[in-house]
Structure 1
Amino acid sequence: MDLSESRDERITDTAFAESVRGWLEGNLTGRFAHLRGKGGPGSEHEFFDERLEWDRHLAAAGWTCLGWPEQYGGRGVSIAQHVAFHEEYAKAAAPARVSHVGEELLGPTLIAFGTEAQKQRFLPGIKNVTELWAQGYSEPGAGSDLANVSTTARLEDGKWIINGQKIWTSLAHVAQWAFVVARTEPGSKRHQGLSFLLVPLDQPGVTVRPIQQLTGTSEFNEVFFDDAVTDADLVVGEPGEGWKVAMGLLTFERGVSTLGQQIGFARELDGVVAQARAHGTDRDPAIRERIARAYIGLRVIRAHALRTLGAVDAGASGGEASVAKLLWANWHRDLGQLAVDVRGASSLLAPEHDHAGAASDLTDPEHLELDEWQRLFLFTRADTIYGGSNEIQRNIISERVLGLPREAKA
């Protein structure tokens, strides 16, 4: 990120941030007031219909797709202004966006790699939040190793015929479309022969099965493709270029919006400190040290994000995104552990009681009711896995940045 902007640019950015703040203060009221702080990771089920209405309210006021070029319905704001929006949004505890996958991931990817026809067909629906998207990357036999996908697609009579399975597909049960990485060249291996397809989910060849988690929620899904179809021209980039497009999308995923994510992390850390004080564990030297490390770590994450944001936005692939993922995922996982440690044994009991009057515990997901700190602990176990596991990120850094030998394959 360029921190050497002129005085006039800084004044403009400050005015933009103030306009965002003022609009949120004036609109997170009335029918939207109860949505503050709702729908974050592990809580995507909360008030979904109301949050969808909120997203459309944002769109009508021109607060979606800010970084997109104006020709595609965006506002073409600067990186600094885009960051300011996400930070003000997080400071206001505005609800988690249901359109994140479309707006922050697929939209920029289509702008960078898609045909003009694809942009005209799909970008308006993303901007106006009339079409929701899911990400078809992970598979049961591949996990974070995207190059090892086995879902196939063959071109036949002007259609791609798709067969295979995706897993951990966030919000596929409410999405109308998915972007799917599939192997379109028979006999190809690893990142060769993959294509990036846009696939409608509302069709007979697609089955979506929610996965119940230990938290009791089911925002993740299995998605089965059994001769599912999509049009031949709904491949982003050329057939066989799916790896390049998929990697481009992952760079967008770890871009500007992560600065707003860190505001949410800071709020969670403040809450953990308050819990430590309430339970008297703030006097424990070991707990105090972990809190201090968390405070410092969060500032390291922000400094790295600001330092590399310009390079990532320009499409650099020097490992910046992988380092960022390692930093925040491990930090957040450790915060989840700290959240239960500061409360001691009481963190093992669910806050509500069953009808018999006995306290339920975390071994009964069917009747589980969690408080926000238990949910934080359980969900952050996944932070170092989804979006590219720690192991995959370290391989990327070692092989592509440091030039070390590639990991031997069995």
Structure 2
Amino acid sequence: MAPEISLRAPDIRAWLRDHLTGEFAPLVGTGGPGREHEHLDLRARWERVLGAAGWIGLGWPAPYGRGASIAEQVVFFEEYARAGGPGRLSHIGEYLLAPTLIEHGTDAQRRRFLPPIASASELWCQGYSEPGAGSDLAGVRTRATLDGDRWLVTGQKVWTSLAHVADWCFVLARTDPASTRKAGLSYLLVPMHQPGVTVRPIVQLTGTSEFNEVFFDGAVADADLVVGAPGDGWRIATSTLSYERGVATLGQQLGFARELAAVVAAARANGTFDDPVVADRIADAWAGLQGLRHHALRTLSATSPDPTGASVAKLLWAGWHQRLGELAMDVGGPLSTVLAEAPDDLTDSQRLFLFTRADTIYGGSDEIQRNIVADRVLGRVQR
């Protein structure tokens, strides 16, 4: 059992200072979106150190986790970001699957999967999007057939983050071949290390590959590894999505703040800060970042669920982050478009610009988020 740990900011800060050193010193400021290729093996060891110290599963309710309050979780994420903690490899299991199992899983599923997530001994990926069924998730065509005491899964998933390092994948599959759209889907837990699973990297504009295609060709999952009832997968899958933009977004925003500070420092160094247009754009970026933080805090502290809070948050940060990437390149001037060494030796500004091109698409496209807001606000008013 992990030791009892203090969630006071000074104690968290001291722990991170003492541990992000020596072997783990190279991890400071690495990993995360656009940089997932960095130090994969070392970051996996770092995750296990976090797990052993009890930092994974802080917000899980007892008896599964610490039951930390929203405020306590915010303190941890902000201190982690300030310390330059590396991008997390276990976040899909910790923040998406674990809350899903706590709410919808069986006791046996919780006993089997929560401890390895908490110790970071098993990593997860999410098998939702498919060719032709990305933002339109109800169009899923991956199928699973119950064959005795096991499911046989066949189909293709795409844009699967960290599938190349994951041990397991939670897969939305069609288990009723006569069904269409949201009906007849099931939420399956599928092991990745088996002959029926092939992972192929997708090379991005940055020259790196953190997303993947995953092919299931008769992959096997035990019959009891369905979360909820067979055919109830849509409800379970949308429940998982509701956890996707929780308290960890505040840590993400501190990462954004570091990126903005780097742009400001570059503008001061090369004199572009004196350009009133650039100064105005920097001020607008700073104000937008404060808006992101206040929206997140308001959503997290709401006494009743906000049906549009997550979608609004995605719309806000995706556009803001893209504009920051454009600002970074403009501050750098014409030389910012020149590669130091082809094909993928990018500066931080170049990586920021190129990767943020996808921000308004991955994790739920802007168009879909606007549809969700319209349906849940305007549709509710009309009804």
1:278 shift after superposition: 2.0
User: CA–CA distance in 2 between the matches of 1:337 and 1:116?
Assistant: 49
In structure 2, the partner of 1:60 is 52
In structure 1, the partner of 2:318 is 329
Q: Which amino acid aligns with 1:240?
A: G
Whether the aligned pair in 2 keeps the contact of 1:319 and 1:396 (CA below 8 Å) is yes
Secondary structure in 2 aligned to 1:223? strand
1:237 shift after superposition: 1.1
1:69 shift after superposition: 2.1
1:337 shift after superposition: 1.1
Secondary structure in 2 aligned to 1:71? coil
Q: Deviations over 1:63-96 (max 9, x none)?
A: 1111112312x21111100111000000111111
Alignment of 1:10-159 (within 5 A): 16-72=8-64, 74-159=65-150
Change (3 A) 1:92 1:155: same
User: CA–CA distance in 1 between the matches of 2:215 and 2:46?
Assistant: 31
TM-score by length of 2: 0.95
Q: Deviations over 1:263-305 (max 9, x none)?
A: 1111110001111122222122221111111101111111111
Q: Which amino acid aligns with 1:396?
A: I
1:59 shift after superposition: 1.2
1:310 shift after superposition: 3.4
Q: Deviations over 1:5-39 (max 9, x none)?
A: xxxxxxxxx96222111111111111111210011
Alignment of 1:95-244 (within 5 A): 95-244=86-235
Structure 2 residue 362 is the aligned partner of structure 1 residue 347:
no
User: CA–CA distance in 1 between the matches of 2:307 and 2:89?
Assistant: 30
Stretches of structure 2 lacking an aligned partner (at least 5 in a row): 1-5
RMSD of aligned residue pairs (Cα, Å): 1.8
Whether the aligned pair in 1 keeps the contact of 2:7 and 2:72 (CA below 8 Å) is no
Q: Which amino acid aligns with 2:369?
A: Q
In structure 2, the partner of 1:382 is 358
Q: Which amino acid aligns with 1:333?
A: Q
1:368 shift after superposition: 2.4
TM-score by length of 1: 0.89
Structure 2 residue 312 is the aligned partner of structure 1 residue 320:
no
1:404 shift after superposition: 7.8
Secondary structure in 1 aligned to 2:301? helix
In structure 2, the partner of 1:5 is none
User: CA–CA distance in 2 between the matches of 1:169 and 1:402?
Assistant: 32
1:405 shift after superposition: 11
Q: Which amino acid aligns with 1:17?
A: A
User: CA–CA distance in 1 between the matches of 2:323 and 2:232?
Assistant: 37
User: CA–CA distance in 2 between the matches of 1:145 and 1:280?
Assistant: 46
**Which stretch shows the higher mean deviation, 78-87 or 397-406?**
397-406
In structure 1, the partner of 2:347 is 371
Change (3 A) 1:137 1:227: same
Whether the aligned pair in 1 keeps the contact of 2:185 and 2:233 (CA below 8 Å) is yes
Stretches of structure 1 lacking an aligned partner (at least 5 in a row): 1-13, 353-359, 361-366
**Which stretch shows the higher mean deviation, 251-260 or 181-190?**
181-190
Q: Which amino acid aligns with 1:48?
A: L
1:43 shift after superposition: 0.7
1:311 shift after superposition: 4.1
User: CA–CA distance in 1 between the matches of 2:207 and 2:381?
Assistant: 42
In structure 2, the partner of 1:356 is none
1:167 shift after superposition: 0.4
User: CA–CA distance in 2 between the matches of 1:282 and 1:64?
Assistant: 41
In structure 2, the partner of 1:256 is 247
Q: Taking every aligned residue pair, what percent have the same amino acid on both sides?
A: 63
Whether the aligned pair in 1 keeps the contact of 2:208 and 2:344 (CA below 8 Å) is no
Q: Which amino acid aligns with 1:376?
A: L
Q: 1:396 aligns with which of 360, 372, 380?
A: 372
Whether the aligned pair in 2 keeps the contact of 1:399 and 1:405 (CA below 8 Å) is no
Whether the aligned pair in 2 keeps the contact of 1:60 and 1:128 (CA below 8 Å) is yes
Q: Which amino acid aligns with 1:387?
A: G
1:225 shift after superposition: 0.9
Q: Which amino acid aligns with 2:172?
A: V
Whether the aligned pair in 2 keeps the contact of 1:179 and 1:198 (CA below 8 Å) is yes
User: CA–CA distance in 2 between the matches of 1:273 and 1:225?
Assistant: 46
User: CA–CA distance in 1 between the matches of 2:173 and 2:363?
Assistant: 18
Write out the 4+ residue segments of structure 1 that deviate beyond 4 Å after TM superposition: none
Q: Deviations over 1:371-394 (max 9, x none)?
A: 111011111111111110000100
Q: Which amino acid aligns with 2:180?
A: K
Secondary structure in 1 aligned to 2:84? coil
1:334 shift after superposition: 1.0
Residue-pair matches, total: 378
Secondary structure in 1 aligned to 2:237? helix
Whether the aligned pair in 1 keeps the contact of 2:122 and 2:168 (CA below 8 Å) is yes
Q: Which amino acid aligns with 2:289?
A: L
Q: Which amino acid aligns with 1:168?
A: W
User: CA–CA distance in 2 between the matches of 1:216 and 1:327?
Assistant: 27
User: CA–CA distance in 2 between the matches of 1:60 and 1:136?
Assistant: 28
Whether the aligned pair in 1 keeps the contact of 2:325 and 2:352 (CA below 8 Å) is yes
In structure 2, the partner of 1:10 is none
1:187 shift after superposition: 2.5
